[in-house]
Chains A and B, each alone.
Chain A
Amino acid sequence: MLKIHDVSLTFNEDTPDEKKALQGINLELKKGEFVTVIGSNGAGKSTLMNVISGSLIPDVGDVLIDDKNVVHLPEYKRSKMIGRVFQDPMAGTAPSMTIEENLAMAYARDKKRRLVPGVNKKRKDYFREYLETLNLGLEDRLNAKVGLLSGGERQALSLLMATFTEPNILLLDEHTAALDPSRAELITKITADVVSKFDLTTLMVTHNMQQALDLGNRLFMMDKGQIIFDIKGEEKQNLTIKDLLDEFQRIRGKQIESDKAVLG
């Protein structure tokens, strides 16, 4: 479903601010795999997301979706295949437009936009049906401007908009980080529900290790632009936070040792 070959990206090359954001990333996701991605700030998690979505173009390497190389497709063309939810609840919706209009725009994502009304009776029923699955009462507020919704409601709506056209890839970039704990939990639950409902191939960045363990069936740990740890299946189910921290120490610690050896 999603393949990434030897993708590298360096910011500000050959200057003192040079930053190797991604270093030779290789990965392959099968249909329906749900990967949680953890790693410290600057590890390259968001850069990886942006390279997949097309907001950033890698220096070298290929991105394949359904065996089609999309690395030179502009973001707006790729997004027919990719659903995204951003960290900022304000980023995923248009505030001055109504809930039904926002949904209509998401509905048109994988189709050609035409000069026909974006909202009609049939679509309204369809939107209402989907909104009901959120249990937030948004189905009764189709004509409310999205700017009036709370952050949690907006994020739930963004999630629905990103998923209900059943994209090939779903990218979630710390989409619960800006919410209070109870809202974050709600969004996490909705995420698990929709991903399993549509069997979506998903990459989710999170700083919450518990969330990374609870959700999904595969886990990446990133550091310094590399995927340093990749675990799936039963092994992942049995993982604990302590295991993760130990693993990080073990991999990076070894490297620090070897660095010492080189420097020494």
Chain B
Amino acid sequence: MLISLFGAFESGVIYAIMALGVYLSFRVLDFPDLTVDGSFVTGAGITGMLIVNGMSPIMATLIGAFAGFIAGCITGILHTKGRINALLSGILMMIALYSINIRFMGQPTVSMLNETTLFSQIESFWSSGIDSVLNSMFIGAERVPTTWAIFIIMGIVTIAIKFLLDFFLKTEIGLAIRATGDNQKMIRSLSANTNFLIIIGIGLSNGLVALSGALVAQHGGFANLNMGIGMIVIGLASVIIGEALFGKKTIARVTLAVIGGAIIYRVVITLALRVDFLEPSDLKLITAVLVIAALVTPKALQARREKKRRLAKRAALMNQRGSEASA
């Protein structure tokens, strides 16, 4: 139980990078971008191939992320220059990437089990002394995590990306990107090239997604052609769950919430799969139900609070009138 929860946190912080990318397109630019399902695999596949062919893992990861950035830019170009509906341009790019990814990978699955990956490098740097200190906190646990290296290093990387994103969204260009998602007419009248901003924004979003894909592949030891299916929904789930649980008052708050949402999503999935009658193939259904719950519950709660407040006010008024009448 402890081990599998630890695993959920570990992959949660890696998937959080993907969720931050989805936040950038879906929330900031208000652009429901389905490229994600393809660009996640692009990042994973290209990085996998490059590692298998002997490139240094860090270079391979960066190139994989860059490939995702290019894919996102193309989606942006389809939408802005080609004037194709946002949803459709993402779907078109997703389906095109499926073939492109096979071309890059050469086969449906690229295995990196015996290769040096970013994570095997991290682990070899890591001093096991830190692990034993951290593991000693879990007194009485039967089994303890073998290494904290990945969780801690990836946590730092993800938080760093969060801070970079926070900073970026407050720069002059970042403000213009946010306004593009909020009121395009207005920001165009303030001399911003909205087409360019959408292309860059969707590019960055898919760059983050591909980076996450590259890391997930190295973490799991393989890249698979189908590992991106439903990725957009997982990203949305993280964003929506995060916002519902941790609030969305400021940019810094939302990006933190998205990371939290990504981890909680992994935890919920892990717990759900321990239930006897649920099969691994039920995963997508669970995800869908989770997203629906996260979307509906806050509104339902809000409506109930409002109703309660109105009833209380009405009751107070009636009481007042009653006492006036008897006086």
Q: Taking beta carbons and an 8 Å cutoff, which residues of A are in contact with B? A: 53, 74-77, 79-80, 82, 84, 86, 90-97, 101, 104-106, 108-110, 113-119, 161
Contacts and interface: CB of A to CB of B under 8 A. Distances in A.
Given A76-B193, A94-B182, A113 B188 contact: no
Contacts of A53: 189
B139 interface: no
Contacts of A104: 172, 175
27 contacts: A53-B189, A75-B189, A76-B191, A77-B193, A79-B190, A79-B191, A92-B186, A93-B183, A93-B186, A94-B187, A95-B183, A96-B182, A97-B178, A101-B170, A101-B178, A104-B175, A105-B187, A106-B190, A108-B172, A108-B190, A108-B191, A113-B172, A114-B172, A114-B173, A117-B167, A117-B171, A118-B170
A105 B183 contact: no
A161 B167 CA distance: 23
Interface string B41-70: 000000000000000000000000000000
Contacts of B171: 114-118
Nearest to B180: A94
A222 to B, nearest CB: 22
Most buried by B among A53, A84, A108: A108
B230 interface: no
Interface string B172-215: 11111011001101111111111000000000000000000000
Nearest to B182: A94
Contacts, number: 87
A261 to B, nearest CB: 46
B163 interface: no
Chain B contact-residue range equals 20 to 34
Given A86-B185, A115-B168, 11 more contacts: A76-B194, A79-B188, A79-B190, A91-B183, A91-B185, A92-B189, A101-B170, A101-B178, A114-B173, A117-B171, A118-B175
Given A97-B175, A116-B171, A105 B190 contact: yes
B179 to A, nearest CB: 4
Contacts of A106: 190
B316 to A, nearest CB: 27
Contacts of A109: 190-191
Interface of B: 167-168, 170-176, 178-179, 182-183, 185-194
* Smallest CB-CB A-B distances: 5 pairs: A94-B182, A113-B172, A79-B191, A118-B175, A94-B179
Contacts of B191: 76-77, 79-80, 108-110
A163 to B, nearest CB: 12
A110 to B, nearest CB: 7
A118 B177 CA distance: 12
Contacts of A90: 183
A251 to B, nearest CB: 33
Contacts of A86: 185, 189
Contact of A115 (B172, B190, B194): B172
Contact of A91 (B174, B175, B186, B192): B186
A105 B189 contact: no
A93 B188 CA distance: 11
A75 B182 CA distance: 18
A80 B191 CA distance: 5
Contact of B188 (A75, A115, A118, A161): A75
B171 to A, nearest CB: 5
A96 B248 CA distance: 11
A203 to B, nearest CB: 15
Contacts of A94: 178-179, 182-183, 186-187
A204 to B, nearest CB: 16
A95 B182 contact: yes
